[in-house]
Amino acid sequence: MAHDFNNLLTAISGHCDLLMLRHDKNDPDYADLDQISQNANRAAALVGQLLAYSRKQTLKPQSLDLRETLADLTHLLNRLVGERTALTVSHASDLAPIRADKRQLEQVIMNLVVNARDAMPEGGQIRVETEMANLDADQRFDRATVPRGRYVVIRVSDEGVGIAPEKIGKIFEPFFTTKRTGEGTGLGLSTAYGIVKQTGGYIFCESAVGAGTTFTIYLPAHERLADARDAAEEETTVPDP
């Protein structure tokens, strides 16, 4: 259905673009055509997100040094947050490697940073921090229990509008959004949740209305980069018949 729908949208925006070519920019109809074209494109982007969400994601885990992953991403994140918002990225010095799909992990961090930006329409500060956590017993947080173990922690925090207590239980549900039609799909956090779970990790959110929101991700740590690589190789090795 989504594909058929996309074909119809492509026809709408294609014909609309043709009409726009035949009209002068000062023509009174031009602004209306422009609106049709923009909204058809927005609808196509929404259908695209739906397709990405519904497609079964196969993760390609590899050993990752989170410092490198975030360094590669910082330029893009800065562009996403714009000029009014300051983004700081800081790391613990003893960060262990993790095993994750780089692209998907980048997607998770981007989704969290975009939400943090949207929560601060007047601008503000977004912090992305990493640290190690050694849990020698299961740890209960407000909204999650993380089993004992050694983890790499990623924290994304903002000073934005916050999330009301009655809504916070719903944010990881697909299609839950408080954004205006056409601006939010409600799929960002459910996608992030799915990727973190598939990576063997945990994600939860703490928020105070008017003060800000912090998303915390726990990902299992590997002792050495070599271990992470070995584990990745083990899985891809095809046994002798």
Does 189 participate in binding ligand ADP (rule CB under 6 A)?
yes
CB of 29 to ligand ADP, least distance (A): 32
Torsion angles phi and psi, residue 64, rounded to 5: -130, 140
Residue 57, token pair as written in the block: 């994601």
Does 176 participate in binding ligand ADP (rule CB under 6 A)?
yes
Burial 44-64 (b: 16+ CB within 10 A, else e): bebbeebeebeeeeeeebebb
Near ligand ADP by CB under 6 A: residue from 13, 37, 85, 111: 111
Does 163 participate in binding ligand ADP (rule CB under 6 A)?
yes
CB of 195 to ligand ADP, least distance (A): 13
Does 104 participate in binding ligand ADP (rule CB under 6 A)?
no
Contact status, residue 115 vs residue 138, Cβ threshold 8 Å = no
Nearer to ligand ADP, 13 or 190 (CB): 190
CB of 8 to ligand ADP, least distance (A): 23
Q: DSSP for 23-41, please give it.
A: S-TTSHHHHHHHHHHHHHH
Angle CA 151–152–154, to nearest 5: 130
CB of 28 to ligand ADP, least distance (A): 34
Nearer to ligand ADP, 62 or 125 (CB): 125
Near ligand ADP by CB under 6 A: residue from 41, 78, 107, 177: 177
Residue 158, token pair as written in the block: 């903002």
Residue 100, token pair as written in the block: 């994750």
> Could you tell me how many residues of this chain bind ligand ADP (CB under 6 A)?
22
Near ligand ADP by CB under 6 A: residue from 61, 188, 201, 220: 188
Nearer to ligand ADP, 151 or 193 (CB): 193
Contact status, residue 50 vs residue 2, Cβ threshold 8 Å = yes
Question: Phi-psi category of 217—alpha, beta or left, where left has phi over 0 and alpha has psi -120 to 50?
Answer: beta
Nearer to ligand ADP, 27 or 183 (CB): 183
**Nearest Cα residue to 155 out of 194, 181, 126:** 126
**Rounded to the nearest 10 degrees, how much is the dihedral formed by the CA atoms of 233, 236, 237, 241?**
170
Residue nearest to ligand ADP (CB): 188
* Residues in touch with ligand ADP (CB under 6 A): 111, 115-116, 119, 158, 160-163, 171, 176-179, 184-190, 213
